[in-house]
């Protein structure tokens, strides 16, 4: 039997084995739960499967029809992916809020509904402060599965030959959930191809993947500035959020004064974490109807809008270092087109706070009106929805094609779906000319200097 045919058979067997081992993750109770009605409003606490529902039936499914190069001559020469870590435990801060709500429900809730009795008599507070945002098994699988799907979408780039040859580079934030997501992504590939005789390095680079920590202007003017999120605070005290809190109090049969906005957020997160981590439609979800879910989503969107996106210019400009890094890798691959590209694939694993400023800098999901505390009703059709943009394992993938004769094309994908670069002349072209993309972002490519934009004080030149 020819060696190439044998290798194809071996890879096929590995794919089948991988599918058997990792498909259809069930809850700890051994059964897959039904989906909470509010699951599509979980913002950054949502499952990747809510963005791509076809994955619920087949976690390794891909749609290769989304890749439509303008001619058969086009070949993929480089792929850069910026990926959020997988599903994680709540942070210590959120565990404390959840514990406070749980104690209140146990001691004071007087409702008689069966779901409430289930919380009071059967559900136990199993989240602990030392979990502090660590990756869960679902998060491990998020990245293993994503690695396999991307290898199926881009087999000429994410291949065993490229991995073994050192043409695939891995970069991660230093946070344990990101490092473990990176290890999981690599494990997805090594298991797929049955690689046991070789290990693959990754680089920790917080300057790229946690640029927001290094940007003094952002830290001082937004991150540590209590007045920066005034619109969020106003919304939390506004009529929409107040109504959600009152409805929670009514369902629990406790005084309105006991349910604060923090309590409402804790209840929402309990529903979200139980579903994301354990695939359980928790009784905590019964504290919300779909209208409540929409309000809670808007509160989260408002926070991300003002803290990481279009609310302040420095939010997006803080990602200048990552922006330039992406385009320098694309330029290098473009200059090497026609020969062996030395870095075929770059996998960069970070946070929602890594992706959102970059997406904002590139102009994605910008609505005509800003999100404010008073325009909730008019923003129901907004494009800025973190539930869609930033689930666990969210990813921005940029693929460079060489179509011959100097015809280089760039295709952007967000969460494995084609998107168009905002503002380009031909919005219907899924793969615009790379030079047109560079021309569109020329002001950022010429400027957007991280050191300059992140300076807190502008010093005048000495005379």
Phi, then psi, of 3 in degrees rounded to 5: -60, -40
Strands 203-204 and 417-418, sheet pairing: unpaired
Half-sphere exposure of 432 (CA within 13 A, CB side): 20
CA-CA distance, 178 to 393, in Å (whole number)? 10
Alpha-carbon gap, residue 217 to 80, rounded angstroms: 28
Establish whether 440 is a catalytic residue: no
CA distance 452 to 158: 36
Describe the strand order of the beta sheet including 168-172 as a list of residue ranges.
203-204, 168-172, 345-350, 75-84, 395-402, 408-414, 417-418
**Encoded tokens for 263:** 């309590």
Angle between helices 176-193 and 3-22 (to 10 degrees): 130
Half-sphere exposure of 216 (CA within 13 A, CB side): 8
Determine the 3-state secondary structure of 435 from DSSP.
helix
Three-state secondary structure call for residue 61: coil
Q: Alpha carbon 463 to chain centroid distance?
A: 48
The answer to whether 235 and 302 have CB atoms below 8 angstroms apart is yes
Other CB atoms within a 10 A radius of the CB of residue 96 amount to 14
The secondary structure element, H or E, covering residue 413 is strand 408-414
Q: How far apart are CA 107 and CA 125, in angstroms?
A: 14
Q: Where do runs of H (alpha helix) occur along 408-455?
A: 434-440, 442-446, 450-453
Residues 6 or more apart in contact with residue 357 via CB below 8 angstroms = 211, 212, 308, 309, 315, 316, 318, 319
| Residue 405 DSSP one-character state | T
Q: Which two tokens stand for residue 199?
A: 């290990």
Active-site hit among 78, 85, 145, 304: 85
> Within 10 Å of residue 56's Cβ, how many Cβ atoms?
14
For 173-192, b where at least 16 C-beta lie within 10 A, e where not — what string? Answer: bebebbbbbbbbbbbbbbbb
Token pair belonging to 281: 């439609």
Integer CA distances (angstroms), 404 to 157, 375, 429, in order: 18, 49, 18
- Catalytic residue numbers read 85
């Amino acid at each position: 039997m020819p060696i190439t045919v044998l290798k194809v058979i071996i890879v096929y067997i590995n794919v089948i084995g991988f599918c058997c081992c990792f498909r259809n993750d069930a809850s700890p109770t051994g059964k897959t739960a039904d989906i909470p009605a509010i699951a599509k409003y979980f913002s950054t606490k949502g499952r990747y499967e809510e963005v791509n529902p076809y994955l619920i039936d087949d976690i390794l499914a891909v749609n290769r029809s989304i890749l439509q190069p303008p001619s058969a001559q086009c070949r993929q020469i480089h792929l850069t992916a910026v990926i959020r870590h997988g599903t994680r435990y709540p942070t210590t801060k959120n565990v404390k809020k959840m514990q406070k709500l749980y104690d209140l429900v146990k001691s004071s809730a007087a409702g008689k509904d069966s779901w409430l009795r289930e919380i009071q008599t059967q559900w136990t507070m199993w989240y602990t402060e030392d979990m502090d945002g660590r990756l869960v098994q679902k998060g491990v699988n998020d990245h293993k599965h994503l690695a396999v799907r991307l290898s199926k979408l881009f087999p000429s780039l994410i291949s065993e030959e490229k991995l073994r040859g050192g043409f695939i580079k891995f970069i991660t934030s230093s946070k344990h959930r990101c490092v473990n997501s990176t290890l999981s992504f690599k494990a997805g590939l090594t298991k797929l191809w049955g690689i046991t005789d070789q290990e693959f390095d990754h680089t920790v680079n917080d300057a790229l993947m946690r640029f927001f920590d290094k940007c003094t202007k952002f830290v001082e003017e937004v991150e540590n500035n209590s007045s920066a999120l005034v619109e969020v605070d106003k919304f939390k005290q506004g009529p929409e959020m107040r109504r959600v809190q009152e409805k929670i109090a009514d369902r629990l049969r406790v005084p309105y004064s006991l349910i604060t906005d923090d309590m409402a957020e804790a209840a929402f997160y309990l529903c979200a974490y139980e579903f994301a981590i354990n695939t359980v439609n928790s009784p905590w979800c019964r504290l919300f109807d779909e209208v409540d879910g929409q309000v809670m989503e808007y509160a989260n969107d408002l926070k991300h809008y003002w803290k990481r996106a279009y609310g302040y210019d420095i939010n997006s400009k803080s990602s200048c270092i990552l922006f330039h890094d992406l385009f320098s890798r694309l330029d290098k691959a473009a200059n090497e087109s026609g020969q062996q590209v030395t870095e075929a694939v770059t996998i960069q694993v970070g946070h929602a706070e890594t992706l959102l400023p970059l997406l904002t800098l590139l102009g994605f999901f910008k609505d005509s009106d800003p999100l404010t505390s008073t325009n909730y009703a008019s923003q129901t059709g907004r494009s800025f929805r973190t539930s869609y943009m930033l689930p666990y394992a969210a990813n921005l993938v940029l693929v460079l094609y060489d179509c011959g004769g100097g015809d280089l094309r760039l295709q952007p994908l967000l969460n494995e779906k084609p998107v168009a670069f905002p503002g380009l002349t031909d919005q219907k072209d899924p793969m615009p000319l790379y030079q047109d993309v560079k021309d569109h972002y020329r002001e950022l490519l010429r400027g957007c200097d991280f050191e300059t934009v992140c300076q807190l004080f502008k010093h005048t030149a000495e005379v």
